Amino acid sequence: MRILGISAYYHDAAAALLVDGEIVAAAQEERFTRVKHDASFPIHAARYCLSAGGIEAAALDGIAFYDKPFLKFERLLETYLAFAPRGFRSFATALPVWLKDKLFQKRMIADALRDAFGKDIDWTQRLLFSEHHLSHAASAFFPSPFDEAAVLTMDGVGEWTTTSLAIGRGNDLKVLREIHFPHSLGLLYSAFTYYTGFKVNSGEYKVMGLAPYGEPRFAQRIKQHLIDIKDDGSFALDLRYFDYCTGLTMTNARFDALFGGPPRAPESQLTQREMDLAASIQAVTEEVVLKLAQGVQRATGLRKLCLAGGVALNCVANGKLLRAGVFDELYIQPAAGDAGGALGAALGAHHMLHSKPRRPSGDAMRGAYLGPAYATREITAALDRVGASYTVLSDERAIAQAAQWLADGMAIGWLSGRMEFGPRALGGRSILADPRSPQMQKQLNLKVKYRESFRPFAPSVRREDVAAWFELDTDSPYMLLVADVKHERRRAMTDAERALFGIDQLNVPRSDIPAVTHVDYSARIQTVSAEVNPRYHALLSAFNELTGCSVLVNTSFNVRGEPIVCTPDDAWRCFMGCELDALVMENVVLKKSDQPAALKVEYTQRYALD
């Protein structure tokens, strides 16, 4: 049984391939087209998946799409009718697009498949359509190591559903409860993303990163006016403050009045108000997630929980949920957003539609290393084309060289093995640095990533050492849990340092690993096991031998607005376009200082700001 899963036409288009229930490959379209959050039909990702599986498109038994377009169109019509005549402008903007393209997606998908893989096959006969939140739920439960678990999905909106509770048993999922549009935790968070001056469906993680710099002084106001939260976590929004149902923005004048002014202009200076707003919506989100989980546990009696949907990428809320002990074990789909819907659609078709058995024996996501890999000969060929100066070493010596460069304070680009599926770089396509440096966070943000100075960086740590550095002793392979740095690793702050507010706190070292320690002493942790990623684990071990520290700064290999690099060519361009010191691609190593000056490229304006 060969099933290709597809997500497309909203944001983060992706493809995923199952062969007899095994996840063979998965990738986002943006990594190939170099267009951030590319929503177009994922033809490049689909071709990659089929190539990785060694099969022809004609051999596919099914192509599963991640949601149902007609149900989305039904929501558009019913929402307009509910609010008419208010909202005609947004309805008039959306309707022609739906009538031209989105309403007839079955035909569009079939046409795209015919153009890519052959016109002599009736692709419509192989197309399957899943519901959006069922795709999310399937993406979380079926790859999990659990035979039975509660499944909670939370996002902006699918067709109608914004939050769902299901129970997974064996090869089946049963949806027990749903919250429907326009009441949405994801859209509430996105409203504050918009209001604080960041891009919706792109900047939500910036709000999460900004939150520790503020105080949640607006949290009670949010709960009094915007969201009514019940004891079981179910909620309803007061729609008088929002414009996303009928307008072209997320919030309105009533929202502005509630919080004392208009939205922050994008790219303008951040003030304490934005920091406090971020802290407030983050606190409310954490409260809702915790209450939802408690309600799920009471309703099901189950002790294991799977999470998916865009809200499941809120690693701060996930960390608090883990520490609360509501469930004994959590499993979070690493591609929790719409990209993961492609995988969930394929898994749902395999296990539920075709009733294929499931035999959970561990994490079927394989560390999320499901994208392309490149051999040394492909890497050197790419470098030869551009006239780069490089050295080919044994794998052991390449790892030793990378560790030494890191210990010397250099920031390096790291391309190793298969590319990650999902939004996080996990040691496949990463920028790495020494976490002991008090200047590293600022330097990486401003000189390498070309992004806002407040943005935090995550630590990668050997799995066997995580409890020695952080208040955590469980697997966190996907960088989706936040925990505090151990007390004995923290640095005592002076009275003057403790008195600082907002961004002024940024440059105060707080621990032995200041580059990955946030202002509240927390860190977004990735644990690295020798079994799942032996090469990255070996690098951490080599760095530990040199420094006594088995932690590295790990951030995605890209600059602001750029998708994470995929190919050696992508890595080279990014390396030469920013202020990285060195590049290690498998066992091929390069130093910036050895490269001809003429090969440096202007990169700061290459990508639109996200």
Compute CA distances 247 → 9, 62, 87, 263, 429, whole Å. Answer: 21, 38, 5, 16, 39
Beta-bridge mates of residue 19: 2, 22
Calpha distance 135→132 (Å, rounded): 5
Residues 6+ apart with CB under 8 A from 408: none
Calpha distance 415→568 (Å, rounded): 8
- In 418-567, which residue ranges form alpha helices assigned H by DSSP? 440-443, 466-469, 495-498, 534-547
Catalytic residue among 11, 183, 518, 537: 11
Residue 464 backbone phi and psi in degrees, to 5: -70, -15
Calpha distance 495→608 (Å, rounded): 41
* Cβ-based neighbour number of residue 247 at 10 Å: 15
Which strands make up the sheet holding 148-154, listed edge to edge?
Answer: 172-180, 161-169, 148-154, 304-308, 329-332
- In 54-195, which residue ranges form alpha helices assigned H by DSSP? 69-83, 88-100, 105-117, 132-141, 185-195
Structure tokens, 356: 């294929």
Q: Annotated catalytic, 225?
A: no
Calpha distance 462→173 (Å, rounded): 34
Are the CB atoms for 145 and 164 separated by under 8 Å? Answer: no
Nearest to 507 by CA among 441, 410, 432, 579: 441
Calpha distance 205→588 (Å, rounded): 33
- To 5 degrees, how large is the angle CA 450–CA 410–CA 534? 100
Nearest to 526 by CA among 564, 552, 559, 490: 552
- To 5 degrees, how large is the angle CA 303–CA 306–CA 309? 150
Kindly list the catalytic residues: 11
